[in-house]
Structure 1
């Protein structure tokens, strides 16, 4: 995980000068409520955590573009007596974006793409310990709205669904993110 984060930071640092020269390029960061839904033989439930994401994109036209980013959904922990469960999920994604400007200040947008989800799942119950760390590719879709504060800076609110992030031994985890943030357009 640290290697992936380091690679993303180095890649962004190397790409930053290119973005500065490219009209239509943007970077952003969001924070919000992530929801992880667990289901399987052990039961089902959902938990909300603070999630965040960092992303970069490029608008090819006023209506169409592409975006890539990293999302951390937070860590879910639950324990009862000597039994414990923890789920830690993150994702890298690439998506095509569509934007519908309503006026000079407001626009609506949607995205569809693919995410590479990484989930670490740990169950320690009745003396039995089960650890698994899996990658799963899933479809991603999202919708949102943007308010242009000025020519370069926008406030955004969006909902993204990352599908199943884990499916192993009858257990599944699904993740989504409802977030707000800032986007800077070069």
Structure 2
């Protein structure tokens, strides 16, 4: 099990086992902004990429809101063989409707997001013996995206969230490339 997965599992378990004495607070009409880090996982690659980004939103009611996100990744190996290798990186731009369910008498909440996002993957192919074969290309698609996760309000003005995310499927020469990821975010409410 990778370190990020262990961290998210420990965070989720700790959040579920902890019960806060403070009552649930109504966060309607409140903007927020935060940062996140995680793991971006497209199908059929050797390595998952480290992802990081920013997000922000506005809560219209205590349960419903809107959220925008920008997520990018570092370079990761799609494959690395004796004679050739390929690296990729990705960008995701999304706009989501959100729903939060606050567990009674705790600072713990469940969160769902559903919306539209652009998923863009850039690929660098390298032939280790013939550099004239090297090339760079990209794929992108816009479609339905979403997330499910748990959050914890550390204070009335700050919280953390662990999310499982699915991104739009990219069509590559008739084949579908699915991508998902996990993220850990921290945000501040204004």
Q: TM-score, normalised by structure 2?
A: 0.74
Q: The residue matched to 1:62 in structure 2 has which SS?
A: coil
User: After TM superposition, which residue ranges in structure 1, 4 or more long, deviate above 6 angstroms?
Assistant: none
Aligned mates of 1:167, 1:182 — CA distance in 2: 32
Q: Does the Cα contact within 8 Å between 2:39 and 2:48 map onto a contact in 1?
A: yes
How many residues are treated as equivalent by the alignment? Answer: 158
In the TM superposition, residue 80 of structure 1 has moved relative to its aligned partner by 1.9
In structure 2, do the counterparts of structure 1 residues 46 and 114 end up closer, same or farther at CA, with 3 Å as the change threshold?
A: farther
Q: TM-score, normalised by structure 1?
A: 0.76
Aligned mates of 1:71, 1:174 — CA distance in 2: 16
Counterparts of 1:1-186 in structure 2, within 5 Å, are 23-38=29-44, 45-77=45-77, 78-103=79-104, 104-125=106-127, 127=130, 128-164=133-169, 166-170=170-174, 172-186=176-190
Between 1:166-175 and 1:52-61, the stretch displaced more is: 166-175
Q: Does the Cα contact within 8 Å between 1:36 and 1:46 map onto a contact in 2?
A: no
In structure 2, do the counterparts of structure 1 residues 46 and 96 end up closer, same or farther at CA, with 3 Å as the change threshold?
A: farther
In the TM superposition, residue 49 of structure 1 has moved relative to its aligned partner by 2.5
In the TM superposition, residue 172 of structure 1 has moved relative to its aligned partner by 4.3
> Which 5+ residue runs of structure 1 have no aligned equivalent?
1-21, 39-44
> Which 5+ residue runs of structure 2 have no aligned equivalent?
1-27
Q: Cα RMSD between the aligned structures?
A: 2.1
